[in-house]
Structure 1
């Protein structure tokens, strides 16, 4: 996002969200070293400038990407612009470094929750009226990967002990 896009982004934010950020909010967030903002534009023919139809703001952390904000102009919603933004964010994930995208959504924002589910996010935590959702670089949530790693690494227990352990888990549940 460049400075001249800020006016359009703020206007779309007001039209598309129930708690929009002000111009000053954007400036303070974007002054942080690890914060990035992107816009998605509708290309125009000829000399006309492209029209901004959506935006996202995210933070790059050592092991994950935190999506702070994503929105599309209401007129252009349901035309895969949001999916394109998420796809761009997925390209920031790697096996070695950043392995997941994390976002927190208000419970009452059903439309956004359904969008994130449709593009591959999973709800991982609920606190108050907010739901934390994550998308992993290989589409598998972390706890299951950890279990798989232990099973593949070759356990020192016998298969009988594993069976007894499984039995205990089933009874306790």
Structure 2
């Protein structure tokens, strides 16, 4: 299997929404994920900054951010995505999913490594995962992230 990472495109909305629906059906995401994700996808496509409440070290604060998103394809079919928020000196891998049928194909590792390589050590990289996403937490840890906060969601940092 070949995994290819590329920037999100407008025609990726439907496959990404389908991935979110799978995440909701598997009780990984709350049903509100659609509303949030649709706005974030639009922002990633437009590149326009926006204000978002972010959780850091157990505290929430508004921040001006931009978002960017990547799609992992397996044999030319969208299999996973990752959406990151960029703010000042940090990047947060905010929302990600791999289709259940295509897990263990290297998609999430490829997406994480793509973000790390793109960053080139210039900003601190964070990720947030729900505790029940043990596979996601494990994947981030295998890619050099460590737990920074044990709440729910857990925060990991590189």
TM-score by length of 1: 0.65
Does structure 1 residue 28 correspond to structure 2 residue 52? no
Question: Given the alignment, which residue of 86, 90, 111 partners 1:60?
Answer: 86
1:91-110 CA distances to partner (integer Å, 9 max, x unpaired)? 13234x31x21012222322
Q: 1:91 aligns with which of 108, 117, 122?
A: 117
Gaps of 5+ in 2: 1-7, 50-65
Deviating runs (4+, > 3 A) in structure 1? Answer: none
Distance 1:76 1:14 in 2: 15
> What is the Cα-based RMSD across aligned positions, in Å?
1.8
Shift of residue 25, structure 1, vs aligned partner:
2.7
Instruction: Tell me how many residue pairs correspond in the alignment.
Output: 125
Task: Give the drift of 1:70.
Answer: 1.4
How many Å separate the matches in 1 of 2:95 and 2:117? 17
Q: Secondary structure at the match of 2:84?
A: strand
Q: As a proportion of its length, which structure holds more helix?
A: 1
Q: Is the 8 A contact 2:23 2:29 kept in 1?
A: no
Greater RCO structure (CA 8 Å; 6+ sep): 2
Name which of 6, 11, 16 aligns with 1:4.
Answer: 11
- TM-score, normalized by length of structure 2? 0.71
Within the alignment, does 1:105 sit opposite 2:115 as a pair? no
SS at match of 1:107: coil
Decide which structure has the larger Cα Rg and report it: 1
Segments of structure 1 that go 5 or more residues without pairing to the other structure are 44-49, 136-173
Q: CA 1:133 to 1:40, structure 2 compared with 1: closer, same or farther past 3 Å?
A: same
The answer to whether residue 74 in structure 2 is matched with residue 42 in structure 1 is yes
